[in-house]
């Protein structure tokens, strides 16, 4: 039996997440290594339930809170987590997600 690759292990951890958690992680993966809370709020369908989902992803050690020039933000704990979360999305899902993220970034006040 071949040993599992690191990508497969990360993918298996992501597969075990609930759909809202996966959606949030995938939105973050489209935004980048770090993703501002305001951008995620503009794109995610979770609405007021967003903070508990972010807390759960932090507890799972997939993301971590950080503060950037954009204010409250989150960062992937390892670049591989972002890469796998991004690659797990179907292209038909990624394309409109890229458009939604781009629209949210355009509306975001960057100071």
pLDDT band at 76 (very low <50, low <70, confident <90, very high): very high
Written as six digits, the tokens of 79 are 């670049």
Q: How far apart are CA 108 and CA 91, in angstroms?
A: 25
pTM of the model: 0.88
Residue with the larger pLDDT of the pair 57 and 3:
57
Domains in the chain (CATH in brackets) are 6-106 (1.10.10.10)
In the chain the beta strands, taken as DSSP E runs, fall at 34-36, 63-68, 71-76
Task: Output the pLDDT for position 3.
Answer: 54
Residue 25 · residue 63 · CB < 8 Å? yes
Confidence of residue 1 (pLDDT cuts 50, 70, 90): very low
- Give tens-digit pLDDT for 86-111: 999 999 999 999 999 999 989 887 66
């Amino acid at each position: 039996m071949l040993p599992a690759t690191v990508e497969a292990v990360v993918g298996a951890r992501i597969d075990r997440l609930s759909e809202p958690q996966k959606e949030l992680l995938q939105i973050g993966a489209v935004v980048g290594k770090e993703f501002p809370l305001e951008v995620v709020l503009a794109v995610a369908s979770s609405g007021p339930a967003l903070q508990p989902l972010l807390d759960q992803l932090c507890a799972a050690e997939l993301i971590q809170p950080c503060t950037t020039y954009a204010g409250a933000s989150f960062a992937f704990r390892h670049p591989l987590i972002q890469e796998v979360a991004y690659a797990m999305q179907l292209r038909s899902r990624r394309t409109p997600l890229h458009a939604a993220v781009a629209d949210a970034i355009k509306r975001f006040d960057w100071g």
